[in-house]
A and B are shown apart, each in its own frame.
Chain A
Amino acid sequence: MATVSLQGLKKSFGKTDVIHDVEIDIADGEFIVIVGPSGCGKSTLLRMVAGLETVSAGEVRIGDRQVNDVEPMDRDIAMVFQNYALYPHMSVFDNMAYGLKIAKVPRSEIEARVAVAAKLLQLEPYLQRRPRELSGGQRQRVAMGRAIVRKPAVFLFDEPLSNLDAKLRVQMRLEIKQLQRDLGVTSLYVTHDQVEAMTLADRMIVMNGGVADQIGAPLEVYANPATAFVAGFIGSPPTNFLDASTFAPGAPQGAQLGIRPEHVVLSGDGTGHRAKVLYAEPLGAESLIYARLESGDNITIRQDGALPTPAEGETVSVAWDKDEEMQFAKDGRRI
């Protein structure tokens, strides 16, 4: 178990800068989720911690050791890959035992450790099978098992659930969370799924084009997005963005106003802004109403499923509490 610290971390491939100056101190046992859209540099960041990519500038520390030039095998880490990267010619047992065999752990201990992991991951019936004889979920568990038998200081996960179907994903998400709690191993977890990020993370790093836009606890990030990008990326349906000059007089030139859908209400008494309903989606527990304001901005309203939903084409008036407004400057920064 160890702390991980990234200091002024940068990465460029040739002339293209992919990671710009990421800084974070990760506490021992903390679960950090790196989240962001495709191509924002999440995998690259993780692979720099793993030692699979070189560091262009800054430093990576694991425990109290600077590991910039340390080979992956000497970093005391384990990684779960998106495609699992199991050894196709080895049985499940051998897949999990591979790292221990190389470390020259005694045979009896290897068997004991694999047995514990197999029990934990419900893989006991499959130990003699080859990876191709397993389902996607089982392969995923083998990849997890391979990581945990080695008792590394840090776990790295690169979108480990993205190849599973939705139901299995939810189940495995819970299992990973449970496992990490029980083992107490410092973890970095990459995903582009914000629900995964919200549910798993102690703290999350929201990446945007190679920049860590915000680092913080999920609810804190949700409630207080540092940039317009974070406000738009975290939360579903996304935050409404309106032209601040119309709705918040006095805001700086080019500023945007952000308001979460659940903070917008249909005001029965006709106060607020007039809008025309484009369509409504009753989802049972809640309803989503999409409307166009007179200013031309689109707005999404999220309301309790029990409330009446307006018909398409109907003119309604929408309102929100001034306190819930978020203002973002032209460059996206929160004001």
Chain B
Amino acid sequence: MEKRVRFKGLWLPLLLVMPQLLITAVFFFYPAGQAIWQSLFIPDPFGLSMRYVGLGNFEFLLSDPFYRASFVTTAVFSILVTLVSMGVALYLAVLADRLIKGSGTYRTLLIWPYAVAPAVAGVLWLFMFNTRVGVVTWYLGVLGYDWNHVLNQGEAMGLVVVASAWGRISYNFLFFLAGLQAIPRSVIEAAAIDGARFWTRFRTIVFPLLSPTTFFLLVVNIVYAFFETFGVIHTITSGGPQQATTILVYKVYADGFVGQDLGSSAAQSVILLVIVGILTIIQFKYIERRVHY
């Protein structure tokens, strides 16, 4: 057990947590309160008066086919981003784990994409896949494939998924690598002596022992896909074509700032707030039982 420091009195501890409390209050509680408040009203188009509608905004949203479609889009998008980024990261981590020399360099190179801001990453991928001047588009054209994510919904989704997953791979890789290296070598060796070849060992020993890491990353990546991919979507597709890539977060922006439907936008924020709350609870529950084998 770690030793805990106990402070006497009330003022010093209060002073020490005050900066964090202030930041949370200003940047979280205040806007969250505002969102909840606004979600109960419909403002007039000039923003001069507000009409109280109770839960009217929510009722309207939940019966709106576009909003429901956005839920499905978000689910597909999040699942794909999570699977791609975690799958690739796990594969790279397994390779790096077997490497003894040079794994440091490997790690450093792999962490770089994480430092690239989502919007910048979006622009990067946008250029590569630009329908007129993109390098990748050109090569695909040479191979006889006509890439056009501006018109093709599937291709648009594919591109934002790849662009969003790419930046996440480094983060997941680091966690997977740390998780792999925490598995005692002798356990792997014992399995090898027991007759298990590489793939059997991975399936029956390594992957189960990695499950706490995997679960943690699953939650973190879903949260990421839900909320932090705005920049990528905004730069690459702006939610299009035909709302094919309008995930919930993007819809908050599109309806609120572009469509100027502030009441609905606020209600959508509140729904997202509830979703992130649930995800956080799941994550905390997991942290309490970190080792579950």
Contacts and interface: CB of A to CB of B under 8 A. Distances in A.
Among A51, A99, A103, A130, chain B packs the most CB atoms within 10 A around the CB of A99
Interface string A45-67: 00000111000000000000000
Interface in A99-123: 99, 102-103
Given A88-B293, A89-B208, A130-B293, A83 B191 contact: no
A281 B253 CA distance: 86
A87 B189 contact: no
B187 A85 contact: yes
Given A88-B209, A88-B293, A89-B293, A150 B194 contact: yes
Interface residues of A, number: 24
A306 interface: no
Contacts of A72: 189, 192-193
A73 B190 contact: no
A211 interface: no
A73 B209 contact: no
A94 B193 CA distance: 16
A138 to B, nearest CB: 17
- Per DSSP, chain B at the interface is helix
B194 A85 contact: no
Contacts of A87: 187, 190-191, 205
Given A85-B187, A88-B293, A130-B293, A78 B193 contact: yes
A78 B186 CA distance: 13
Interface in B169-214: 184, 186-187, 189-197, 200, 204-205, 208-209
Q: Chain A binding site: helix, strand, loop or mixed by DSSP?
A: loop
B195 A81 contact: no
A279 interface: no
Contacts of B197: 71, 73
B184 A73 contact: no
A73 B187 contact: no
A98 B186 contact: no
A77 interface: yes
Interface string A228-241: 00000000000000
A79 interface: yes
Contact of B195 (A51, A52, A73, A130): A73
A72 B196 CA distance: 9
A231 B200 CA distance: 48
Contacts of A42: none
A83 B189 CA distance: 12
B57 to A, nearest CB: 48
Contacts of B196: 73, 98, 102
Contacts of A146: 190, 194
B209 A79 contact: no
Contacts of B192: 52, 71-73
A85 B190 CA distance: 7
A228 B93 CA distance: 50
Contacts of A50: 189, 193
28 contacts: A51-B193, A52-B192, A52-B193, A71-B192, A72-B193, A73-B193, A73-B194, A73-B196, A77-B193, A78-B194, A79-B189, A81-B186, A81-B189, A82-B186, A83-B186, A87-B190, A89-B293, A98-B191, A98-B194, A98-B196, A98-B204, A99-B195, A102-B194, A102-B196, A102-B200, A103-B195, A146-B190, A146-B194
Interface of A: 50-52, 71-73, 77-79, 81-83, 85-89, 98-99, 102-103, 130, 146, 150
Given A72-B189, A72-B193, A87-B191, 18 more contacts: A52-B189, A72-B192, A78-B194, A81-B189, A81-B190, A82-B186, A83-B184, A85-B186, A86-B190, A98-B191, A98-B194, A98-B196, A98-B204, A99-B194, A99-B195, A103-B195, A130-B293, A146-B190
